[in-house]
């Protein structure tokens, strides 16, 4: 276990925001986390767990002890009659896991291709795209309790998964470090193609029964076309959650603005497309300082070069205000603001 001091976090957050960590420890195993938890000084310090840094907005230097999760490894741990169970270290890149499982012939994660971040961060916000959410492919995970240093295993029912939400953003926030995640990849494999843009690909190409690699390629192409690559333009994916409202509220809004893009949910509520509303308020391509709204997808805020976390938050507040003014809806930020 290596303790570093005065570390720049700019390379460790995909928005490329400037911030310093007073102390940073890289953890590569459960044993490392246990050692930190039981360490006479480090054990008492406030801690912040850093994964791929793809879903955080850093607005200041971090006085906390930053734990950078670097647990590696990807392997098949079990073959069940109806699923492959694959385990990955929390520090592995998400995209590397998606590619690895496909190459090994264990498909099921292809709709979640190209989501930035690490394996350990995937259950925290229950990542989702193109009709699949992490919870649909989740088996269990291992974590270490930061107060006691003891290990724990959590199953789906312990994780309180919701839309971009889980127990790790709520009751367990900051209290444990996820070290390994196990995925349940159903067999036989069946493609998930219900999402409009995938349907469009199917119609365009005339490929009616795509294989998993084909779906992976389509998802990568769709994402490349409208989402910025964080290696080139700093960003944290969708900046706001799509708000969920009651059918009455939705009727009220569509009564005034019939074009609002919305999707009925299984429980009778309605999800509104935040990107559409932000776009309709004229924000695409606008900036505050070096923080901007991406030209091709208004739900994504970007770093135009040297943005600070404060600029990003000023821009976010201005967007929230104008969406509230026009639609009466309060948008909620999706990334964790630190
Ligand atoms: N739209 C606009 N203008 C915009 C952006 C969107 O008119 O600037 C419209 C689109 O035309 C579409 C609707 O709004 O009719 C919804 O847009 P899209 O299909 O692009 O999906 P999204 O709701 O913006 C969500 C996820 C993404 C995920 C995609 C695909 C959230 C917060 N975001 O975006 O997740 O990739 O669906 O499933 O749920 C992420 O979380 O970081 C992320 C990228």
Closest CA to 275 of 319, 309, 236, 311: 319
Ligand 1 atom nearest 297 alpha carbon: 8
Return d(Cα 216, Cα 183) in angstroms, integer: 17
Residue 1 pLDDT:
79
The reply to whether 251 belongs to the active site is: no
Return the CATH class of domain 2-69: alpha beta
The reply to whether 238 belongs to the active site is: yes
Question: Distance between the two ends of the chain, CA-based, in angstroms?
Answer: 25
Best of 273, 283, 284, 302 to mutate for ligand 1, by most ligand atoms within 8 A of CB? 273
Q: Is 334 in the pocket of ligand 1 (CB under 6 A)?
A: yes
Tell me which of 164, 180, 202, 223 is the catalytic residue: 164
- Average pLDDT for runs of 10 along the chain of length 338: 94 97 96 96 94 94 96 98 98 97 98 95 95 97 97 98 94 95 97 94 96 98 95 95 95 93 93 97 97 97 97 98 96 94
Q: Is 154 in the pocket of ligand 1 (CB under 6 A)?
A: no
Q: Is 276 in the pocket of ligand 1 (CB under 6 A)?
A: yes
In this structure, CATH architecture of domain 234-337: Alpha-Beta Complex (3.90)
Residue 34 pLDDT:
97
Contact 120, 51 (CB under 8 A): yes
* Residue 4 Ramachandran class (φ > 0 left, ψ -120 to 50 alpha, else beta): beta
Residue 324 pLDDT:
97
Q: What are the extents of the domains in the chain?
A: 2-69, 74-186, 234-337
Residue 9 pLDDT:
98
Q: Structure tokens of 34?
A: 């246990």
In this structure, CATH architecture of domain 74-186: 2-Layer Sandwich (3.30)
Cα-to-centroid distance, 32 and ligand 1 (Å): 38
Cα-to-centroid distance, 213 and ligand 1 (Å): 23
Q: Is 273 in the pocket of ligand 1 (CB under 6 A)?
A: yes
Q: Is 116 in the pocket of ligand 1 (CB under 6 A)?
A: no
Contact 180, 141 (CB under 8 A): yes
Which residues have C-beta within 8 Å of that of residue 36, sequence separation ≥ 6? 1, 25, 27, 42, 43, 47, 65, 67, 146, 149
Q: Is 260 in the pocket of ligand 1 (CB under 6 A)?
A: no
Q: Structure tokens of 116?
A: 């930035």
Residue 111 pLDDT:
98
The reply to whether 164 belongs to the active site is: yes
């Amino acid at each position: 276990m290596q303790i570093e001091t005065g570390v720049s976090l700019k390379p460790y957050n995909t928005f490329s925001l400037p911030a310093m960590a007073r102390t940073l420890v890289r953890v590569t195993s459960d044993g490392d986390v246990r050692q930190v938890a039981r360490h006479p000084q480090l054990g008492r310090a406030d801690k912040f767990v850093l994964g791929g840094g793809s879903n955080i907005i850093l607005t200041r230097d971090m006085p906390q002890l930053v734990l950078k999760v670097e647990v590696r490894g990807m392997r098949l741990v079990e073959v069940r009659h109806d699923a492959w169970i694959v385990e990955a270290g929390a520090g592995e890149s998400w995209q590397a896991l998606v590619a690895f499982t496909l190459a090994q012939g264990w498909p099921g994660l292809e709709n979640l291709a190209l989501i930035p971040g690490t394996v350990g961060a995937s259950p925290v916000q229950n990542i989702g795209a193109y009709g699949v959410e992490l919870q649909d492919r989740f088996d269990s995970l291992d974590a270490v309790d930061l107060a006691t240093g003891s290990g724990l295993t959590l199953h789906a029912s312990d994780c309180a998964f919701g839309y971009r939400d889980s127990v790790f953003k709520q009751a367990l926030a900051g209290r444990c470090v996820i070290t390994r995640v196990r995925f349940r990849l159903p067999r036989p494999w069946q493609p998930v193609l219900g999402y409009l843009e995938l349907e469009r690909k199917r119609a365009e190409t005339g490929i009616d029964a795509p294989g998993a690699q084909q779906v992976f390629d389509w998802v990568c192409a769709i994402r490349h076309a409208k989402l910025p690559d964080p290696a080139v333009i700093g960003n944290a994916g969708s900046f706001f959650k799509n708000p969920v409202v009651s059918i009455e509220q939705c009727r009220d809004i569509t009564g005034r603005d019939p074009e609002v893009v919305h999707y009925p949910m299984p429980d009778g509520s309605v999800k509104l497309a935040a990107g559409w509303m932000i776009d309709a308020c004229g924000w695409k391509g606008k900036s505050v300082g070096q923080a901007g709204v991406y030209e091709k997808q208004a739900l994504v805020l970007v770093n135009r070069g040297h943005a600070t976390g404060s600029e990003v938050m000023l821009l976010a507040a201005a967007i929230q205000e104008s969406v509230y003014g026009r639609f009466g809806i309060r948008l909620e930020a999706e990334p964790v603001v630190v």
